[in-house]
């Protein structure tokens, strides 16, 4: 039997609840699909940091490297560990070291879910650059604590990084409705974003079948709200994609439905699948976190592993559950009851 080894990192807060729910759904899907998912769980989290002084062991990356995929819950417990420490100690190094340069986030309304917009017919795929740009971590502070203090955060855009994410965006658009929005701000950022636009035009030559248009980040933020049906695939830098995908999450009814995949397209290292939501300390012990975002991320993992049939079975199960009003109102259904409904729909 085909067996995939999966690293599970539940992390903090509701990350633990949604990973558990997701894993049970995935096990059901595997049994039905005639393959096996073998999970190894790692306790790497803020609690682990408080115990050991690090978010993961020094060889954490090497430990993860041998897995077929990583499922992550959430990282962060700001009351005890600053976010800048926890995220730069676990989530961000995994994305960068494993060259998971494409962060894919689907935004559409599940049946039965009420979004805040008048429009309910949108289907947007956001492709966010995930390893460099504004979040490269380059910079520093001098004259700390004085009136002359200076903080510098340098955005880094490499030709390799920009070209590969744009190419990935074009490929996704080609497989969908063949429309690509390339997010820029070249009217104000005269180095990085002028470069981004140039590379967009260069790569576009290889995709004559894809209709590509540049949009400034501010304009496309408004367009997502005002005319979301006009958008298909959006490709954006790390910061711009981060912001747009929270708008996308809001449009689709909230973070409880926002899934994501951190993909290494070359498959030279494992890819990681995680809901967009964080650890949600306010509801962490209540058992009411919506596991749908995590389960949808599990669907993306199955697709990546080549188990397309199982992936579409789980996606249909999610949709039939929300169509019946289960998991569609924040706090109404428990994590466990939503998970059970998805499993029942699968079977």
Interacting residue ranges for ligand IPM, rule: CB under 6 A: 87, 242, 276
C-beta closer to Mn ion: residue 129 or 307: 129
User: Which position's Cβ is nearest Mn ion?
Assistant: 242
Can you state the angle between helices 192-204 and 159-174, rounded to 10 degrees?
A: 50
C-beta closer to ligand IPM: residue 93 or 111: 93
C-beta closer to ligand IPM: residue 79 or 147: 79
Residue 246: CB minimum distance to Mn ion, A? 6
Residue 242: CB minimum distance to ligand IPM, A? 4
Total residues contacting Mn ion by CB under 5 A comes to: 1
Q: How far is CA 208 from the centre of its chain?
A: 29
Closest CA to 291 of 339, 246, 254: 339
Residue 262: CB minimum distance to ligand IPM, A? 9
Q: Does 242 bind Mn ion (CB under 5 A)?
A: yes
C-beta closer to ligand IPM: residue 130 or 172: 130
C-beta closer to ligand IPM: residue 242 or 333: 242
Taking CB within 5 to 8 Å according to partner kind, which of ligand IPM, Mn ion, none is near residue 346? none
Dihedral of the alpha carbons of 201, 203, 205, 211, in degrees to the nearest 10: -70
Residue 322: CB minimum distance to ligand IPM, A? 23
Residue 157: CB minimum distance to ligand IPM, A? 17
Taking CB within 5 to 8 Å according to partner kind, which of Mn ion, ligand IPM, none is near residue 314? none
Dihedral of the alpha carbons of 155, 158, 162, 168, in degrees to the nearest 10: -120
Stretch that binds Mn ion, among 131-139, 175-183, 213-221, 237-245 (CB under 5 A): 237-245
C-beta closer to ligand IPM: residue 89 or 270: 89
C-beta closer to Mn ion: residue 128 or 304: 128
C-beta closer to ligand IPM: residue 134 or 313: 134
Residue 95: CB minimum distance to ligand IPM, A? 8
Can you state the angle between helices 308-323 and 335-346, rounded to 10 degrees?
A: 120
Q: Does 307 bind Mn ion (CB under 5 A)?
A: no
- Paired tokens of 123: 């289907």
Taking CB within 5 to 8 Å according to partner kind, which of Mn ion, ligand IPM, none is near residue 87? ligand IPM
Q: Is 68 exposed, middle or buried (0-12, 13-18, 19+ CB in 10 A)?
A: middle
Residue 165: CB minimum distance to ligand IPM, A? 14
Residue 210: CB minimum distance to ligand IPM, A? 26
Residue 225 near residue 107, CB atoms below 8 Å: no
Closest CA to 59 of 47, 75, 44: 44
Interface residues toward Mn ion, by CB under 5 A? 242
């Amino acid at each position: 039997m085909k067996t995939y080894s999966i690293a599970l990192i539940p992390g903090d807060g509701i990350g633990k609840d949604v990973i558990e729910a997701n894993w049970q759904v995935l096990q059901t899907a595997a049994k039905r699909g005639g393959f096996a998912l073998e999970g190894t769980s790692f306790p790497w989290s803020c609690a682990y940091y408080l115990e050991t002084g690090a978010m993961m062991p020094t060889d954490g990356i090497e430990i993860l490297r041998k897995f077929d995929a990583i499922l992550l819950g959430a990282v962060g417990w700001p009351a005890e560990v600053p976010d800048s420490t926890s995220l730069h100690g676990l989530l961000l190094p995994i994305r960068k070291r494993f060259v998971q340069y494409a962060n894919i986030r689907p935004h559409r309304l599940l049946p039965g879910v009420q979004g805040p917009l008048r429009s309910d017919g949108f289907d947007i795929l956001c492709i966010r650059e995930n390893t460099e740009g504004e979040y490269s971590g380059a910079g520093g502070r001098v004259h700390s604590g004085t009136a002359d203090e200076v903080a510098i955060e340098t955005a880094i855009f490499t030709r390799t990084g920009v070209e590969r994410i744009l190419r990935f965006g074009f490929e996704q658009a080609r497989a969908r409705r063949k429309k690509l929005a390339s997010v820029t701000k070249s009217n104000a950022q005269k180095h990085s974003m002028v470069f981004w636009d140039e590379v967009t035009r260069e790569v576009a030559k290889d995709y004559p079948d894809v209709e590509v248009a540049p949009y400034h980040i501010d304009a496309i933020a408004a367009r997502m709200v005002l005319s979301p049906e006009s958008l298909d695939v959006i490709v954006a830098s790390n910061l711009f994609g981060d912001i747009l995908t929270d708008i996308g999450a809001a449009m689709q009814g909230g973070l409880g439905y926002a899934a994501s995949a951190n993909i290494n397209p070359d498959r030279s290292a494992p890819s990681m699948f995680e809901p967009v939501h964080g650890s949600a300390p306010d509801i962490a012990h209540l058992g009411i976190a919506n596991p749908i975002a995590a389960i949808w991320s599990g669907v993306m993992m199955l697709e990546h592993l080549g188990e397309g049939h199982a992936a579409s079975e789980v996606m249909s199960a999610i949709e039939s559950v929300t169509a019946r009003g289960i998991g569609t109102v924040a706090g109404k259904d428990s994590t466990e009851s939503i998970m059970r409904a998805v499993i029942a729909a699968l079977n």
